[in-house]
Structure formats: C-alpha cells, structure tokens
Amino acid sequence: MKQLFISCIVTLLLILSGCFNEESTEEPKIDNDETYESHEQPIAELEEVYTLGLYNKGDFEYERTFEIEHESFKRNIVLGNKTSKEGSFILLIFNHGEQMNFKVGDGKVSNNYRFDIKKEKYKDLEVTLLNLEDGFHSITYVLLNDPEEVPNDYETSMELADLFSIRVNLLKNIDNIPEERPNLFTEGIESEERRIHGAFLSKKEVPYETLYKEDMGEKEIPYTLFYGNSHSEKIDFYLVALLNYQQTQLGTDDFLYDTLETDQEKSISLDFNLPLKEESNSFQVLMIPTPFEPVSKEKTFLPQDPSASNRVLILK
Amino acid sequence: MNIKKILFSLITVSFLSTLVLVAPVGAEETEVFDTKIDKVSKDEFIDKEGDKVQEKVYYNSEGKIVKVSVEKGEYAEPVSTDNSTKSYGSYYAVSRSSVTARFEAWAGAPQIRVYSNGFSDSYTNSSKSTKKSIDRIIVNTTLMMNASVEDQDSDSRTSSSFANASAKQQSFMIPTHSQYSRSSHTYHNSGTNSVYHSTEASRG
C-alpha cells in the first residue's frame, strides 16, 4: 500500500514537472495591439471601419520598395476590425497579374488564406512570399470580405465588391523597374459613354444589369465584363478572374493587361463554361491598376487602388 | 385672379407630369447632345448635416445641363497642407452617401434626373469647423436603378481634406424600384493604417 502511495506521488510529480516544462518552453506571446493602435487614424476610433497596415514584426513598415537577395520576403499584414461585428476575410496575393503561393506563420503553403476576426480586435498575419526569382515583382496583397457569402440579390452582389489592399515592389538582382510592358489586350470594345469605374459583371442581354445569380445547368452562361476609368489620369492595369478565389481564365487568357484613358470604358463579351466541382460557386473579377508604378516611403499610395467587380453566385 | 393662377399652376403641373409619365422606359435619345461646357453656375448652401456645400451646374451653349457636381469643402481653408503631417496630429473624418433628384431639361423635355453622391471629408476635430488635409482620400460611388448600374464615379485626391464623387442617371426611365447608392471610402495617411468603410443611401 505504501509502495502504491509513493508511485502515485512520483507519477503526480512527473505530470506536474511535465506541465511546468511545457510552459517554460512556450514562446512568450507578444501583444502588439498598442503599436497598432498608435498608428490608427482618428476616424478608426469613431466610425465602423476596418483598418489595414503593413508591419515588420512589431514595427510599422513605412517602406514600399524592397531590394531583396533571397527567394522569400516576409512582412506582417495587420487587419483591424473597428466594427461591432465579427468579420471573415480571405487573403490573396498577386505578383503582377498572377495569383501566388504564400505561407502564413508556420502554416502550409497555399494561394489563399481564410480567417475570422473578432469585433474590436486585430488580426496579425505573418506572410511569407516564396520562390521569388530575379526581376521586378509587383506585389498586391488583397483582402476580400465574407468569402463564404454569395449573393441572392443585386445589392449584396455589389456589397461583396469591397476590397482592401497593400502594394509593395520587390527588386531582386535588378536596379530599376523594367521599361518593358506585357502585350496589351486589344479586343476590348470601347463604349460610347462610360458608366463603369473599375470592373463590372453584367448580363449579356441587358447591358449594365447586375449579374448576381446564375444557374449553370447544361449550358454556358453568357456575360459582359465592363471596365472603366473615371479618373483624370490614364491607367494601365491587370484584370484577373477568380472562381472560388482561384485564378481562372478570362476568355483564353490567364489575365488581361490593358489601358484606359480618362473617362473611357471598354467591354468584353464572354461565356462562362468552366467545369464546376461545387454546388455553389463564386465568380469575381479584380482590377489591379498601375502595376509598374514606383512606390516608396515618401509615395506610399497608388493613384488608384485595386478594386473588385460585383460577386456572382453560379449554381452547378 | 387667384382662380386663374391656381388653374395655370394645375395645367403646368399636369403638363410636366404627362411628359414624365408618357415617355417610354429606357428610350434612347435620338438627338446628339452637346456636352461641351459653355458656362458654370455655382450655388452654396448648408446641408442637413450642417456642412457647407457648393453645387456647380455645367451648361452647354444651348443652356442645357451637361453635369452637376456637389462638393463639400472645396473652398474651405485646410489647416495644414504639409505633406509631412503624420498621424500624430488629431483629425476627424466623415463619410456619407446620398441620393437626390432634380428636375432638369433633358433630351428636350423637363424630366427628373437622379444623382448619387459620395462624400469623404476630414476635419481638425469633431465640431467639423475646419478642414484638414491628409495624404490621399478616395471615394467610389455607384448609382443603381432597377438592378442596373446607372453610373459609377470615383474621386481620388492627394493632400486633400475631401473627395466627392457624383454619379448620375444615364438612361431615361421611370424607376420601378428604389434608387440605391453605395459609396466606398478610403483614407490613406503616411505612417498610419489605411481606413476602409462604406456608406449607403436609397430613395423611393
């Protein structure tokens, strides 16, 4: 009986020491919320808003162009939820007009990352870009709201166009942004009058009527992609299509590169005929403007931010 | 005399109403509309939010309205236009959307045209008495009627205390659904997290 009692005590002590050991090896969690708060604009404390910043570990990152030597690039994307509701987002990253793979923290490599964010909290994503080759990399971090949400009416389809972004330029073993540009897409038909700023998915039979819910069935879905520029400066940009947040072809191209003069609009007639794996699918087009624009500590912001079209629900 | 005045008013109102109601939905304008600006009229007023507003109406040589812009703060004196101003100065931003309608001569007849406006403004404090410049303010506004985009407009300004975008009804139609306006607002300032949010308004 005495031996049993001693064994129990020894076992208990071993369990306890194990617990303490585990605790001592756990890395101390750094709370950077005070730093993030110190970089908020006053409106963030007064209105229902989201905030987005680029950080290097716990420090605010002022720079936007980086000369890199290695194949990877790591920075923190910090989203602040200053609303009274929990939110959900998906992070996508584009190198020029191509969706790229990345890693968040020690997670697996993927081309998208979904996460929830509690009300009045920050979400700090330590993002590592991988396999960066020599040359100029025009990197756009994109956050889309409510990735699981699909529209059942045109208002929701338009609401799901909200997009938050950060742009950085990476130069690897290259001194300057190259002069060479991708081939221009030449098949866009210029509209007589501009209505659209950014990208918009319309029903083919009724121009400018919102495409928001379509049944695929056995046939393909005809639609029109309008894209326009209401600003006073000419812009160049990529157009990228996403099916369930995976880059997919626009017509026969992986992405389109085109320009728009001031107050100009173009359109393309297309058919959606991709094979669908899911019962419910989301389809959206992103416009990523001025990919060759220099950005820096002094010139942090682009003349025109990236934008998303209305989101469309496609039923199998 | 009074009876004559009332009768005249009734006839005028019924004539204008008939012009609006008998026109076909989505009818195309056949005449070529001259969009060259010949003159601009300005009007200043205080809106229901208590803000000073400047409305500019642009006319062509025939006296027809080409476009209307509604701007807040253009003539207000910014407290600072210094680009080096960081986040640490205090300022206060206000965003909102509106949908308005006005009678105007359009395709040869007086008709109602619907406008959607998105406003983004920054001030030194919550009393909104003095404007404050920040690095970049952007507003994108969409006017939706009968499930279609009538117009989208965007304003992106550097070192500004405001951005205003105004989208207007493009095709002549009698709206069978409410008119819906949505604006997305972005505030960028050096050394700070960017701020994103949206506002909505509807009419009818």
Query: pLDDT, tens digit, for every residue of A8-64?
Result: 565 555 454 444 444 444 445 567 999 999 999 887 877 889 999 999 999 999 999
Q: Is residue A79 included in any domain, yes or no?
A: yes
Range list of H helices, chain B = 2-22
CA distance B122 to chain A (A): 9
Q: Judge whether A97 lies within some domain.
A: yes
Report the pLDDT value the prediction gives residue B16, as an integer from 0 to 100. 42
User: At B97, is the pLDDT very low, low, confident or very high (cuts 50, 70, 90)?
Assistant: confident
Question: Is 50 exceeded by the pLDDT of residue B26?
Answer: no
Which domain CATH number covers A239? 2.60.40.2550
Asked if residue A9 is part of any domain, the answer here is no
* CA gap B173, B70 in Å, rounded: 23
Contact B147 A39 (CB under 8 A): no
Residues of B in contact with A191 (CB under 8 A): none
Q: Can you give the residue range of the structural domain that contains A151? A: 33-172
Q: Alpha-carbon dihedral of residues A180, A182, A186, A191, nearest 10 degrees?
A: -90
Flag whether A276 is in a domain.
yes
What single-letter amino acid sits at A212? Y
Q: Is the pLDDT of residue B83 over 90?
A: no
Q: What is the pLDDT of residue B4?
A: 59
Do the chains contact at A49 and B195, CB–CB below 8 Å? Answer: yes
User: Of A123, A140, A172, which one is at a domain's C-terminal end?
Assistant: A172
Amino acid A160: pLDDT: 97
Q: Find chain B residues with C-beta within 8 A of A295's C-beta.
A: none
State the total domains in chain B. Answer: 1
Q: For residues B112 and B173, what is the distance between their CA atoms, to the nearest angstrom?
A: 9
Q: Which of B126, B147, B191 comes nearest A39 by C-beta?
A: B191
Q: What share of chain B is helix, strand, coil (3-state, %, to 5)?
A: 10, 55, 35
B164 touches chain A (CB under 8 A): no
Q: Give the nearest partner residue to B156 out of A62, A166, A231, using CB atoms.
A: A231
Sign of CA dihedral B186, B188, B194, B195: negative
pLDDT over 90 at A81, yes or no = yes
What is the residue range of B158's domain?
2-203
Q: Binning pLDDT at 50, 70 and 90, where does residue B53 land?
A: low
CA distance B6 to chain A (A): 42
Name the token pair of B93: 């931003």
Mean pLDDT of A229-242: 96
**A163 shares a domain with A41:** yes
Do A141 and A199 reside in the same domain of the chain?
no
Is this model's pTM higher than 0.80 or not?
A: no
Q: Pick the last residue of a domain from A126, A142, A172.
A: A172
State how far the Cα of A308 lies from the Cα of A306, in Å rounded to an integer.
Answer: 7
Task: State yes or no: pLDDT of B7 exceeds 70.
Answer: no
| Cβ-Cβ contacts under 8 Å, A196 against chain B | 149, 152
**In this complex, which of A80, A196, A200 lies closest to B193 when CB atoms are compared?**
A80
3-state secondary structure of B15: helix
Among A238, A252, A253, which Cα is nearest to A285's?
A238
pLDDT at A280 (0 to 100) = 95
Query: What would the DSSP string read from start to end of chain A?
Result: -HHHHHHHHHHHHHHHHHHHHHHHHSPPPP--HHHHHHT--GGGGTSSEEEEEEEETTEE----EEEE-SS-EEEEEEEEEESSS-EEEEEEEEETTEE--EEETTS--BS-EEEEE-TT-EEEEEEEE--PPSEEEEEEEEEEE-TT---SSHHHHHHTT-EEEEEEEEEES-SS--S--PPPP--PEEPSS---SEEEEEESSSTTBBP-EEE-TTS-EEEEEEEEE-SSS-EEEEEEEEETTEEE-BTTBSSEEEEE-TTEEEEEEEEE-----SSEEEEEEEEEE-TT----SS--S-SS--EE---EEEE-
Number of domains in chain A: 2
In the stretch 169-198 of chain B, residues with CB closer than 8 A to chain A read 170, 180, 182, 184, 186-198
Q: Are A60 and B191 in contact (CB under 8 A)?
A: yes
Are A37 and A157 within one domain? Answer: yes
Name the nearest CA neighbour of A199 among A116, A276, A285, A70: A285
- Closest CB to A195 among B149, B190, B198: B149
Q: How far apart are the first and last CA of chain B?
A: 37
